[in-house]
Each structure stands twice: as C-alpha cells, then as structure tokens.
Structure 1
Amino acid sequence: MPPEPAFGPIPVTGWVRVVLRGAALIAVIGVSLLVMLVGHHLVERPFYGKKRPLTPYITMFVSRSALAILGIGYSRRGARMDKRGAVVANHSSWLDIFTLNAGKRIYFVSKAEVAGWPGIGTLAKATGTVFINRDRREARRQQDIFEERLLAGHKLLFFPEGTSTDGMVVLPFKTTLFQAFFSDHLRHEMHIQPCTVVYRAPDGADPRFYGWWGEMDFGPHLLRVLAAAKQGSVEVIYHDPVRVDDFPDRKSLAAHLEEVVRGGMPPDRR
C-alpha cells in the first residue's frame, strides 16, 4: 500500500466539531453501555445464558447513532443472513465497528490485546466480542470457544485479511480461523456470509481518508474524522451466504470468500 496520507493542522472550526461530536458520542456510548451491562447481568445472563437476545439491539442503536453523529452517510445492499454461521468482511478502519454493527446483530472476533485497551476494551467485552490469540498452542481452546458461541446462535464476524488496509484494496485472506468451521460439530450446519465494506471519502479529500492502517495512531485519526466539515459515506454489501459443507477444506472456502468480497469493491479498487 502507498504511504500514509499527510493531513494539515485542524482549524478552530474543526476543533469545535471535535468537541460537539465527541461529547455526543461519549454520551450515547456511555448511557447505552450502562443499559447494556445492566440488561445483560439482570436479564440475559440469568434467563437466556449465552444467547443474548436483547443487548445486540442496543449495539445496533449505538452504531447507527455514532455514524449519524459523525455525519457519515450509511447504506447497505443485499439480504442479511438469517442462517446460523459467521460473517467475514474486508477491514479498513476502526469505523468498521460501527459500520458492521449498524446493520446486523453480530459479535466481533478480535485479537486478545484489544481487551486491555482503555475504553475500547470495556466496550468490546460488553458487546460480547470473542478475543483470540493467534497462537497455534491455543488452537484447540479457541475452536471450542467458536463452537460454543456459534451453536448458541451467535453470528461471529472476523476479518480474514488479518490487518486493516487503506480501504482501496482487499488483501489475501488468511485461512487459519476457517478451520474451526470444519469440525464435525459445525460444518454440516454453518453458513458464512461475505460482506464488502466500501468507504467513500468526503469531496476533495484523499480517497483513503477513512482508512486506518500501518503505523497510524488511533487518536489523530479519530480527531481528523471528528473535525471534518464534510463527511463521506460507507456502503455495506451483503453477498449470498455459502454453506461450509460445499467446500472441501478451509483454503477453498477462504479463496471463494476473498473473491466475492473483492468483487464487491468498485472497479478501480479491484
């Protein structure tokens, strides 16, 4: 990928937008997180166990509200999968958390260190994120966690690229996590839905404006998005789900999903 874009200083009017949008985001997320924690501990956990039929709707509300507060246009195409299974998507930005939660009840699969991040870690835990270590020695334990959550009806979402990009490319899919779906307990029941996430920058801005990748720090990128006078948009394309049983192994499944996700990108990004 090309070098990271260089942005100029934020003007005074931009800082005003940072304060107003930031305060609104903190208020929405803070209140919703409190409601979510109370609802989960007092209602979901004692009466529904791991199924969590209520709190994902709060996550969807927060995500849609966040995009509206930021002023980022949001649209989606295609039918959301109602079968048991998982979702995979290309990964371009921290905004993917809001973008993908806005339209579908899902649970992210994230690297273990995110659980310790201030603020974000707490939010991730509250929304039911599955934390994993990319360590072969823990493969068996992670597969057990996947099976437990999938069989409970949770739709797990993960990014097979393994890292975020500038939003202009789709990297080759890593196949490791797909192996869990080929266990005897899952492969005959599971479907996977590929999704393409397409960010479009504000008019006149660098096309990679929303991309967050490489060595970019989270704080400055967040401030840049909060400060923007004009915002762009994001589109989520839900492609047809596939049956895991239709593929002989994880590599063929990953290759097919990668092709579909890349095919959903605009022609100049394929």
Structure 2
Amino acid sequence: MKTFITKTIMPAPTPLPNKHSRGSSSRPVFDPEALFDKNEPTSPRSLGRSIRCTLRLIAIFFWGLISCCFQAILIHAPGRLHVQFPCFFWKIVCTIMGIDIHTKGQRIGEIYSEKDINLGKRPVLYIANHSSWLDILVLGTVLPTLFIAKQEVRTWPLIGVLTRLGGTIYVSRNRQGTGQEVSDVTKRLREGYNITLFPEGTSSDGMRVLPFLSSLFAIAKPVKKRDMIEDENVPPPLFVQPISIVYDRLEGLPVGRNRRSSVFSWFGDMDLAPHLWALGKWRSMRASIYFHPPLNPDDFLSRKSLAVKTYDIITQGNEDLRQNRLD
C-alpha cells in the first residue's frame, strides 16, 4: 500500500527591498535621515544643548540692543553705512547661532546714490525662495539690501525694531494696497537702494518652491517709453538676480526631507519662539546660497513672463543644491 503525502507548496516570500540597491544597480542609496535619531525628529534634548540655546539667545538679545543704538545713529548719518551695518549685524547673529554660509555664483549690485541712478546705473532686485525667517539672517550677511517683509514682522519683539531701523519695506497681503507698496519700493530704488523680494508670499516647507505672485514684479516691468524714466512714479531700469537658498547641513551631516522641513523651515501656523528654541539647540548648520546670472527685464514682454522665468531658475537651483549637483 502506497502512502501519498500531499505537499503544499507555499509561494516564495517577496524579498524585502534592499536599501543598498536601486533597480538592477548595486550602487548604495544614501539616506541622510538615517544619520539622525528618529526619536528626536525636531531637536535633541539634553541639558547641555538647552544651556547652549539659552546662552545664544542672551547673546543675540544684547547684541541686538547694542546694534539698535548704532543703527539709530547711522540711519541719520550721511552715506550708506546704515545699509552696510546690517550685513555685519546679521553675520554676528549667524556666528552666534552656528550658521555657516556657503555661496555659489557671483552677486551683482552696489549701493548707489540718486545721482548714479540718474546717470544710468541700475539697482538690483534680488528674488529668492522663502522657507523660514532664517532667510533674512542668511541673505542679510551677503546682501547690502533692503528687504520686503510682511506687516506682521513690524510687531515682532526686537526683530521689528531692527527691521525698521534697517529700512525694511512692509507689505500686506491685501491686493488693495499693492499700488502704494509698489510706489514705496519705486522710491527706494530711485534712491539707489537694492531690494530683496520673496515673491512666494509666504514661507514653504523647504522641499519645493511655491508659485510666485507676480504683482510686485511690476517694479521690474520694462519701461516702454524712455522719456518716462524721469517720472518719480515709474521704477528706474534695474536688473533682476534670482537666488536659491537651501539648508543642507546639520552638525556637519547632509540634511534630508524630514530634517529640512522640521528643523529649518518655518511655515503654516508654526510659532516663532518654539521654532527658535528648537533650532538653537543644534551645534552647527549650513545654508547654501546660489547667485544665478542676472536677468534684464527689458528682455521680457511682461512682468508675468519675467516671474515665470525667475521661478523656473530658482526652482532648478534649489533642486541642484539639494542634490549637490553644483561644483
């Protein structure tokens, strides 16, 4: 008598994806998030780091008070030292916070006088992506410029005073006030100042560039009739320089998606104080700035086409910086 044994053949288990392979390639895949502790996604918790953050905030507070006194004097002094001093101020703040600034490309633009503008010298409108309040600190170290900021910044403790003394131009999100805001920017450009604008209108999560609002690009709209240049209500001819900003190092290690959005980016309904406290606990960080070649608004038919071109350049620059494609 033969005994038949039925053998159930189970399907072979699906192999787990190999994190060290990509498709048929054996090239390892590097995940920056694996370098950090997943249990602490925002900031490390230790007594030493809390003490470090406290000392940093105290140092920034007293440095801010001293700088306010200097700037209040310089703003009434002849010359343009009141535009150059904020660069020194923000450089010290970044040093205190442990922020290293890495630049690529060449910045254009000088601080001109009204006479220089009348002789044909062109001011510069710097256009940058916006993911955090850190953008002002970082760009402030390398750009002798006036910033365009939202109205809420005016009411921030100490920072509001510093931005007012620095000549910041405040804008609202109300379309009815756009005309007056463009007029204020035009006046500053005619006085020889360079302007920095964040055309996204709000900060992002750092992983993408939000669509640009083209309304303030009206200050860079080409002047059709050159006899209108002397009109004080018409912006002078200028150059537009796109700038890409990416925060790509944290305590010497590459930054991935999670760290970029949870540590550096300040967006949505996030409160400023908790974000500043969490950021100040890290030992060091790095911001990379890419100065793209300037654009001549006269080469574009409208402000919208100029806004689209600038958006494409900055978006590509952000992607290149995040993936470390640039030499």
* TM-score, length of structure 2 as denominator length: 0.73
Q: Secondary structure at the match of 2:318?
A: coil
Query: d(CA) in 2 for partners of 1:210 and 1:140?
Result: 33
User: Helix, strand or coil for the counterpart of 1:103?
Assistant: coil
User: What is residue 35 of structure 1 aligned with on the other side?
Assistant: 70
User: SS at 1:88's partner residue?
Assistant: strand
The answer to whether the 8 Å contact 2:248/2:254 transfers is no
**Following the alignment from structure 1 to structure 2, what is the Cα–Cα distance between the partners of residues 244 and 267?**
25
Hey, what's the Cα distance between the residues in 1 that align with 2:299 and 2:222? 14
Runs (4+) off by over 6 Å = none
The number of equivalent residue pairs is 257
1:239 maps to 292
Can you give the 5+ residue segments of structure 2 that lack an aligned partner in the other structure? 1-39, 110-121, 224-228
Query: Could you tell me how far apart the structure 2 residues matched to 1:165 and 1:138 are?
Result: 24
* Alignment check: 8 A CA contact 1:199 1:210 kept: yes
Contact 2:214 2:303 in 1 (8 A): yes
Tell me, in whole angstroms, the C-alpha distance in 2 between the residues paired with 1:78 and 1:91: 19
Is 1:23–2:55 an aligned residue pair? no
Residue 201 of structure 1 deviates from its aligned partner by 4.1
Higher helix share: 1
- Counterpart check, 1:87 vs 2:126: yes
Q: CA deviation at 1:8?
A: 6.0
Cα pair 1:201 1:207 within 8 Å, conserved: no
For residues 8 and 250 of structure 1, the distance between their equivalents in structure 2, rounded to whole angstroms, comes to 41
The aligned amino acid for 1:95 is L
Letter in 2 for 1:74: I
Hey, what does 2:47 align to over in structure 1? 12
| Structure 1 residue 267, shift from structure 2 partner | 4.3
- The residue type paired with residue 266 of structure 2 is W
In structure 1, distance between residues paired with 2:182 and 2:157: 27
Specify which structure has the bigger relative contact order, considering alpha-carbon pairs within 8 angstroms and separated by 6 or more residues. Answer: 1
> What's the CA shift for 1:111?
1.6
Q: Does 1:74 align with 2:101?
A: yes
1:189 matched to 2:237? The reply is yes
Alignment partners' CA distance in 2, 1:56 and 1:122: 15
Secondary structure class of the residue paired with 1:233: strand
The answer to whether 1:142 aligns with 2:181 is yes
**1:6 offset after TM fit, Å?**
5.3
Separation (CA, whole Å) in 2 of partners of 1:155 and 1:210: 27
Query: Aligned partners of 1:187, 1:145: CA distance in 2, in Å?
Result: 10
With over 3 angstroms needed to count, the CA separation of the structure-2 counterparts of 1:268 and 1:112, relative to structure 1, is closer
**CA distance in 1: counterparts of 2:273 and 2:48, whole angstroms:** 18
* Aligned counterparts of 1:76 and 1:9: Cα–Cα separation in 2: 28
Deviation string 1:89-119 (CA, Å, 9 cap, x unpaired) is: 0001111111001001011111223212222
Tell me which amino acid in the other structure corresponds to 1:138.
G
1:139-218 alignment runs, 5 A limit: 139-182=178-221, 184=223, 185=229, 189-202=237-250, 203=253, 206-208=259-261, 209-218=263-272
Identity of matched residues, %: 30
Q: Structure 1 residues 256, 204: closer, same or farther in 2, change over 3 A? A: closer
Tell me, yes or no, if the aligned pair for 1:161 and 1:172 is still in contact at 8 Å: yes
- Is the alpha carbon distance of 1:188 and 1:32 closer, same or farther for their aligned partners in structure 2, counting shifts above 3 Å? closer
Shift of 1:194: 0.5
Alpha carbons of structure 1 residues 68 and 188: separation in structure 2 relative to 1, 3 Å? closer
Which residue does the alignment assign to 2:278?
224
Map of 1:116-127 to 2, 5 A cutoff? Answer: 116-127=155-166
> Structure 1 residues 107 and 8 mapped into 2: Cα distance closer, same or farther (>3 Å)?
closer
Distance across 2 between alignment mates of 1:107 and 1:197:
18
Per-residue deviation, 1:180: 2.7
Distance in 2 (alpha carbons) for counterparts of 1:204 and 1:77: 18
| 8 Å CA contact 1:187, 1:244 repeated in 2 | no
CA RMSD of aligned residues (A): 2.1
Assess if the C-alpha contact under 8 Å between 1:188 and 1:244 holds in 2: no
